[in-house]
Amino acid sequence: GQLFQVRVPSNWRQFPGQSDIWFAPEGAYGNQGITHGATIGVYKTQQRSLDRATQEYVNGILQANNYLRRTTNYSRFRLDGRNAYAVRLSGRSPVTGQNEYAIIYTTQLRDGSLMYIVGVAPQNESYRYNRAFNTIVRSLNINRSA
């Protein structure tokens, strides 16, 4: 069966990625990825704890996107009844030339893999996208066998 179900804004389209799924409004995607929208996927890790797996994943994001910096501490919360973390990154996008932010939500699956949701948006439109990201996170329903 499916790994998860989630609600996204009705004007967003779904794009299958290599190891994840992207959701973005029209005009917010291209060859270099999304400029605003969300990515949901699973990260295979050897780390057995949620905090170490999250740090490993975030460090990989920071290395791959060296313009981003972590701007908040990791905060704990519950994601579909599971322990989870959230952290915010920001920086000037090389694609748009604007300041953008990425908010990363993580939780662990039964097999130890890390499930992540990454919301990306221009800094000056954060008020609009924060609501969408919160809706996505609150609506996430992970398959109980996962």
| pLDDT reported for residue 102 | 95
pLDDT of residue 20: 87
Q: Mean pLDDT across the stretch 90-106?
A: 93
Res. 70: pLDDT tops 60: yes
Ramachandran class of 97: left when φ > 0, alpha when ψ lies in -120 to 50, beta otherwise:
left
Per-residue pLDDT tens over the stretch 120-145:
999 999 888 999 999 999 999 999 88
- How far is Cα 46 from Cα 72, in angstroms, rounded to an integer? 25
The Cα-based distances of 70 to 1, 16, 21, 66, 133 in angstroms read 35, 27, 23, 11, 18
Section 49-53 average pLDDT:
97
pLDDT in tens, 10-41: 999 988 776 789 899 887 876 666 788 999 99
pLDDT band (50, 70, 90) for residue 50 = very high
Q: Are 93 and 35 in contact (CB under 8 A)?
A: yes
Cβ(7)–Cβ(139) under 8 Å? yes
pTM: 0.93
Q: Nearest CA to 40 among 1, 3, 94, 92?
A: 3
Average pLDDT over residues 62-91: 96
- The partner residues of 87 in beta bridges, in order of sequence, read 104
